[in-house]
Chains A and B, each alone.
Chain A
């Protein structure tokens, strides 16, 4: 998957996690926590969805990498580059 495809995948997951929020306006370089009402269970759900949908494993120590859309895409790019778009 290419970085834009990965970004799309993340937005798709965010949409399922926060159905009441409009994720299309989320800024790529601002922490997600500051834009959406996300708590630690929400981040856990992102991790679980990524594993379920794409079989990528994110160790607990790396959860901090999921702060912004940009940092998430950057972190996931090497892990997901060989995957086909779902």
Chain B
């Protein structure tokens, strides 16, 4: 008999959370701490969603999405997780750019960007300050018609090199383009590019392990290998979920799965207004990624002057559409030294590029394997520019593609960064369509990335807690028991 991953699970919870990405994990923990009973269901055998890692023979551990996050993670981890987790967050101080327009190293904070823009790019300090203040001052209520491209044109007319410096990292971090609203750029920029880039000491495996322990302490019922088939709705109210052949009831459900698959597949169009459905269908997904993972032989060291994060490109100009092309000219390298996992003797490199699902989806198995081999080869080739003897030092290399991301996270088209801007409004409007049903996960660029996903989990947990308290008062049955 197959193992029953729901053994001992109750028939009813206050809230069921579908998916254990950082938004789902944080929502589950926050709600359980307020005293609600919470069931967390994850289809994969590991928690974490895209905050994940994998191991290979020889003791290599690769992180998938641990390139860097903003300083705000420290506060959020302390508040919504534990002091121990917050204390493991450390700064990455060497962020490099290398492209035909400029080569430089920065600590990636406001002071250093100001210094570079004034000294290297010859912009006046007043202009730089005005740009930073404008980006920082942007919020949700601002007009959404101005694009990021227009914002740059206003402050740095004709300066493609400056656009590249200020935009390339954000494009890599969340797939946004010059055509996206300036406000989503502004909000991400002021979070991300004003106080440095940070990482988690001990790696993603340690983070997720610590989170798992904390979830159990908070009383969350955590279940892996539980693929939710349907979210059940009864007279406009959420009733529970169908999972692994069982029906489990809940007064509230939070889906951390992809927004579009939540609405269109797990619930089904018949439960929504036509206009809401139109909006949900029109939500654009963000692009996906390709990565190449390279592990050096035990004890082989990399020179730390390579930096922690390197935005490298051979394209003469910065064009967001070029970044998605399979004819790769731009790569972001994360260099991991033994200090990433204190006590280890390993150096690793992960190369990431943005990619389109369509370019990989249709390939035959054979063509797919060939393309992956090509990707590894061309990446080693490109990396040779920075580490000439990379092939001699190498112990293991392999690639992932949009198909890999799609397989492991069930995101439509393997989307790495959730949805475009319009996804946020659809995500927020879900409970107006079906009482007790919520979505928390990467949407709208602002709410994506490790920090965005975590904070969105908290925002939604607050809504759910509030709603559970209200609906408790309204149902006499619940108060009688």
Residues of chain A touching chain B, judged by Cβ–Cβ distance below 8 Å, are 17, 41, 44-45, 47-48, 51-52, 55, 57
Asked whether, in the complex, the Cβ of A47 is within 8 Å of the Cβ of B462, the reply is: yes
Report chain B residues within 8 Å CB of A17: 79
A41–B72 Cα gap in the complex (Å)?
Answer: 10
**Does B124 sit within 8 A of A, measured CB to CB?**
no
Report chain A residues within 8 Å CB of B478: none
* B244 CB → nearest A CB, Å: 32
Known interface pairs A57-B466, A57-B469, A57-B470; A51-B34 also in contact (CB < 8 Å): yes
Known interface pairs A41-B76, A44-B462, A47-B462; A55-B469 also in contact (CB < 8 Å): yes
Asked whether, in the complex, the Cβ of B458 is within 8 Å of the Cβ of A52, the reply is: no
**Does B205 sit within 8 A of A, measured CB to CB?**
no
Flag B31-66 by CB within 8 Å of A: 1 or 0 each: 001110000000000000000000000000000000
Report chain A residues within 8 Å CB of B466: 51, 57
Question: B465's closest neighbor in chain A, by CB?
Answer: A51
A52–B35 Cα gap in the complex (Å)?
Answer: 8
A47–B466 Cα gap in the complex (Å)?
Answer: 10
**Does B455 sit within 8 A of A, measured CB to CB?**
yes
A13–B63 Cα gap in the complex (Å)?
Answer: 37
- Grouping DSSP codes into helix (H, G, I), strand (E, B) and loop, the B interface class, with mixed when no group exceeds half, is helix
Question: B455's closest neighbor in chain A, by CB?
Answer: A41
Asked whether, in the complex, the Cβ of A44 is within 8 Å of the Cβ of B459, the reply is: yes
A45–B76 Cα gap in the complex (Å)?
Answer: 11
A47–B462 Cα gap in the complex (Å)?
Answer: 8
18 residue pairs from A and B, CB less than 8 Å apart: A17-B79, A41-B75, A41-B76, A41-B458, A44-B459, A44-B462, A45-B79, A47-B462, A48-B34, A48-B462, A48-B465, A51-B465, A51-B466, A51-B469, A52-B33, A52-B34, A55-B469, A57-B470
Report chain A residues within 8 Å CB of B462: 44, 47-48
* A76 CB → nearest B CB, Å: 16
A75–B455 Cα gap in the complex (Å)?
Answer: 27
**Interface range for B:** 10 to 19
Report chain A residues within 8 Å CB of B465: 48, 51
A57–B34 Cα gap in the complex (Å)?
Answer: 14
Flag B78-104 by CB within 8 Å of A: 1 or 0 each: 010000000000000000000000000
* A50 CB → nearest B CB, Å: 11
A47–B463 Cα gap in the complex (Å)?
Answer: 11
Q: How many A-B residue pairs have CB under 8 A?
A: 26
* B475 CB → nearest A CB, Å: 16
**In the complex, given contacts A41-B458, A44-B458, A47-B462, what are 10 additional A-B residue pairs having Cβ atoms less than 8 angstroms apart?**
A41-B76, A41-B79, A44-B459, A45-B79, A51-B465, A51-B466, A52-B33, A52-B34, A52-B35, A55-B469
* A34 CB → nearest B CB, Å: 16
A62–B317 Cα gap in the complex (Å)?
Answer: 48
Question: B454's closest neighbor in chain A, by CB?
Answer: A41
From residue 433 to 470 of chain B, which have CB atoms closer than 8 A to chain A?
455, 458-459, 462, 465-466, 469-470
Report chain B residues within 8 Å CB of A41: 75-76, 79, 455, 458
A41–B70 Cα gap in the complex (Å)?
Answer: 15
* B91 CB → nearest A CB, Å: 18
Question: A52's closest neighbor in chain B, by CB?
Answer: B34
A17–B470 Cα gap in the complex (Å)?
Answer: 25
Report chain B residues within 8 Å CB of A52: 33-35
A17–B76 Cα gap in the complex (Å)?
Answer: 11
Report chain B residues within 8 Å CB of A51: 34, 465-466, 469
Question: A17's closest neighbor in chain B, by CB?
Answer: B79
Report chain B residues within 8 Å CB of A47: 462
* B139 CB → nearest A CB, Å: 9
Question: B79's closest neighbor in chain A, by CB?
Answer: A45
Question: A55's closest neighbor in chain B, by CB?
Answer: B469
A48–B469 Cα gap in the complex (Å)?
Answer: 12
Report chain A residues within 8 Å CB of B30: 48
A51–B30 Cα gap in the complex (Å)?
Answer: 13
Report chain A residues within 8 Å CB of B33: 52
Report chain A residues within 8 Å CB of B35: 52
* A2 CB → nearest B CB, Å: 24
